[in-house]
Structure formats: structure tokens, C-alpha cells
Amino acid sequence: MKIPFVDLSAQYNRHKEAIDKSVNRIIRNASFVGGPEIKAFESAFAEANGVKNCIAVANGTDAIYITLKMLGIGPGDEVITTALSWISTSETISQTGAKPVFVDINPNDYTINTELIESKITAHTKAIIPVHLYGQPAEMRKINSICNKHNLLLIEDCAQAHFAHYQGQIVGSFGDAATFSFYPGKNLGAYGDAGAILTNNNELANKCRMYANHGALVKHHHMMEGINSRMDSLQAAILNVKLPFINEWNDKRRQNAAYYNEILKEIPQIKTGYVNPNTSHIYHVYCIRAEKRNALQSFLSKHEIQTAIHYPIALPNMPAYSYLGNLPDDFPVASNYQDTILSLPMYPELRTEQMLFVAQQIKEFYKLANFN
Ligand SMILES: *Cc1c(COP(=O)(O)O)cnc(C)c1O
């Protein structure tokens, strides 16, 4: 039984007719940049998240960069973020000229450890970017109160957490702005790169919209220099077809995660995920911690089970950040977990027998491993 890490064709096959129709309409109308599909997606996504403004952009990385830049963050500033994330979260801080300041993660839910944030705040700190890692919201109440106390901007990186909730409140609505990615493998994925910014701040929304379009809201009227970071109409058309199904897909992922938890719980060599009772986790990633992780991953791969590691090197340990002078011991949890975490196949269409096969192969691996 071959089990891919994500199965994008399973979803396409179910919605093929609607997606093909939408894509063909865009091609027939030859309106590839801007136009009604973009506007429709922006209003639908803003409304579904209960936030006033949505700006569709080219990808989730640009969404962070544009937001930080338009919030006025730049050289001399520091921005606090988590030690465990995809590099977009921190490289965009550097792109503005500011300095990324990393904080270790919670040992249980992998999100930024809010107990450690205040020790990293200096006179230069301007903002915090929590990441709702793997689809589980960070401790937003605590982060909100730290931001209020120290007068810091709050940008939520929601790239992995579309429609996840914290204490019943949807992520993306807690701070000054929130950024999303619709990279194909994300819970809500386009068929190429795409991203969005959400904000209740109308002035910030206008600036971001301008900056993402060469600094112009009206063609040829450049109020400033900007960049070209527009979402393609083709991607918006695909996202418009998919958006109504996101909650159903998130529910299926949650059911699959519950099933994995059940069938994996007796294996002493692995640890399944913890769910913070304050949150509704949407399982962009189903992450376990495993003894002999690398050997287990190769074993599973030999048995045609595709897995991944999110992420094999914590951000502060990347060569890209050696200039910051961080040591792995400064981030003991993230540095330790980078060697044990393993992401198992997870998608809404994943079937019971596939998950059973994964569990069976993991058990088989440890049985063999114990003989050596
Ligand atoms: C995917 C991702 C991004 C970046 O999104 P792209 O659309 O690939 O640029 C940013 N942050 C996190 C946490 C992500 O997982």
C-alpha cells in the first residue's frame, strides 16, 4: 500500500468539474491579473474569517514581508518569533532590515513559549510573530497581553492554521494583522503560489494593497515604490471553489488525527501530539516524536509510506542565522525536537486502512529495532 505524505489529486478528483470550469472561464476571459475572481476571493475570505480587509498577494512569504514593511518595521528594529517554523517567518523580518529574535517552543504543543518572550524584549523590540504551528494556535491570550503591556505589534503567521480557533475565536483576528499561505499543500491550497493578508486596520490594508502592486491603487499613480506581489486570477478562481469546503476538510483532518492518536498510543517509542484545550487544532501537520527517528523514516519510506520533518533544523540553528551567535543550548526544546519529530501522512481523504498500515509498519519497525 503506497501512502503519499499529501494527496492533492484525491481532492482534485472530487472537485474536478467545478475547478475545471472555473479555470476554463479565466482562460476564456483572458483576465489573468486582478479582476472579479480576486475581488470575490478577498471578500469571501475576509468574511469567513470575520475580519474587515483581505489583500490577496502572491504567496505567504510576501504576505509577512509586506505586512511588516507597511507596519513600519525596518533597520534597527527587533521582531520576536518562534525557534520552530518555516524560514519565511524569520527571513521576512530580515528582509525589512530588522533583526529576528528567536524564542524557544513549548515542549507540549510546539508553539512559541510565552513564558520566555518577555526576557527577549528590548528597547528595540517592535513586534511579535507567533506561528500557529502544524495548525495549532499559539497561546494568544498571553501573547495579546504581552503585546499590550509592552506596546508591541502583533502579526499572526496563519500559514498552517486556516480557520483554527483559540478559545472559540478564529486565528487571524487577534492582532494587528495576520498572514496566510495557500501553497498547494496547505489546508487551503491553490495550484501554485498564493497568499493573503487579513487586517481590521483600513489604513494598513490600503498600504499593503498599494505596496503589493508597485505602490499604486490606481494604475500609473505610484504613491510610493512597491513590489509586484499579486495573486493570479487562476489561483483565486481555484480558491473560490475550495473555500466553502475548508471546514469540512479540517474536520476530516481532526478525525484522522484522533484515529492516529488511538492506534498509535500503545507504542512506547513514540509520542503523539498534545492538544491545548484552549485550541481547535486543524492538523496541517500530524507530528509525532519518535525514538530512532531517522531509521524509522527510512523504514517507512522503504514500505512506501512517505513522511516529512517539520523541521529538521530549528531556525536559530540554521547557517543563515549563525551571525546571530545563537547556540543550540539557547533553544533546548527546539534543538532537541529537531532530531525526533516526524510528520506522518495527513490529509482529509486519508483512509482508515491507510492509517492502520502506517501504525502497523511503525510497530514492525520497533519490533525489528529491538532485536538489534
Ligand atoms: C508555508 C508557510 C509560509 C510561507 O508561505 P509561502 O506561500 O510558501 O510563501 C510562512 N510561514 C509558515 C509557518 C508556513 O508554513
* Tens-place pLDDT, residues 214-232: 999 999 999 999 999 999 9
pLDDT, one tens digit per residue, over 310-364 is 999 999 999 999 999 999 999 999 999 999 999 999 999 999 999 999 999 999 9
Write down the pLDDT at residue 371: 62
The set of protein residues with a Cβ atom below 6 angstroms from ligand 1 is 59-61, 85-86, 88-89, 131, 157, 159-160, 181, 183, 193, 195
Spacing, Cα 68 to ligand 1 middle (Å):
15
- Enumerate helices (H) and strands (E) in the chain, giving the number of each: 12, 13
Spacing, Cα 245 to ligand 1 middle (Å):
21
DSSP per-residue string spanning 324-335: GT--GGGSHHHH
Spacing, Cα 61 to ligand 1 middle (Å):
6
Q: Please name every residue paired with 289 in a beta bridge, in sequence order, or none if there are none.
A: 271, 341
Distance CA 241, CA 44 (A): 11
Model confidence at 125, pLDDT cuts 50, 70, 90, reads very high
Distance CA 145, CA 58 (A): 32
Spacing, Cα 172 to ligand 1 middle (Å):
15
List all residues 6 or more positions away from 295 whose beta carbon is below 8 Å from its beta carbon. 365, 369
Q: Is the pLDDT of residue 22 over 80?
A: yes
Spacing, Cα 140 to ligand 1 middle (Å):
20
% of the chain at pLDDT higher than 70:
99
Q: Write down the residue that cell numbers 476571459 correspond to.
A: 29
Distance CA 280, CA 254 (A): 9
Residues 282, 162: contact at Cβ < 8 Å? yes
Cis peptide before 347 (omega within 30 of 0): no
How large is the average pLDDT for residues 234-261? 98
The minimum-distance atom of ligand 1 relative to the CA of 62 is: 9
How large is the average pLDDT for residues 98-122? 98
Write down the pLDDT at residue 1: 87
Spacing, Cα 59 to ligand 1 middle (Å):
8
Q: Is the pLDDT of residue 370 over 80?
A: no
Look at residues 203, 231, 284, 215 and name the one whose alpha carbon lies nearest to residue 60: 231
How large is the average pLDDT for residues 298-314? 98
Choose which residue among 6, 65, 86, 105 to substitute to test ligand 1 binding: the one with the highest number of ligand atoms within 8 A of its C-beta.
86
The minimum-distance atom of ligand 1 relative to the CA of 160 is: 15
pLDDT, one tens digit per residue, over 80-100 is 999 999 999 999 999 999 999
Q: Is the pLDDT of residue 372 over 60?
A: no
Choose which residue among 57, 61, 136, 230 to substitute to test ligand 1 binding: the one with the highest number of ligand atoms within 8 A of its C-beta.
61
Write down the pLDDT at residue 290: 98
pLDDT, one tens digit per residue, over 36-93 is 999 999 999 999 999 999 999 999 999 999 999 999 999 999 999 999 999 999 999 9
Q: Is the pLDDT of residue 128 over 70?
A: yes
The minimum-distance atom of ligand 1 relative to the CA of 133 is: 13
How large is the average pLDDT for residues 177-183? 98
Average per-residue pLDDT in the chain?
Answer: 97
Distance CA 121, CA 124 (A): 8
The minimum-distance atom of ligand 1 relative to the CA of 88 is: 10
How large is the average pLDDT for residues 100-104? 98
How large is the average pLDDT for residues 151-168? 98
Model confidence at 295, pLDDT cuts 50, 70, 90, reads very high
Residues 8, 184: contact at Cβ < 8 Å? yes
Residues 171, 165: contact at Cβ < 8 Å? yes
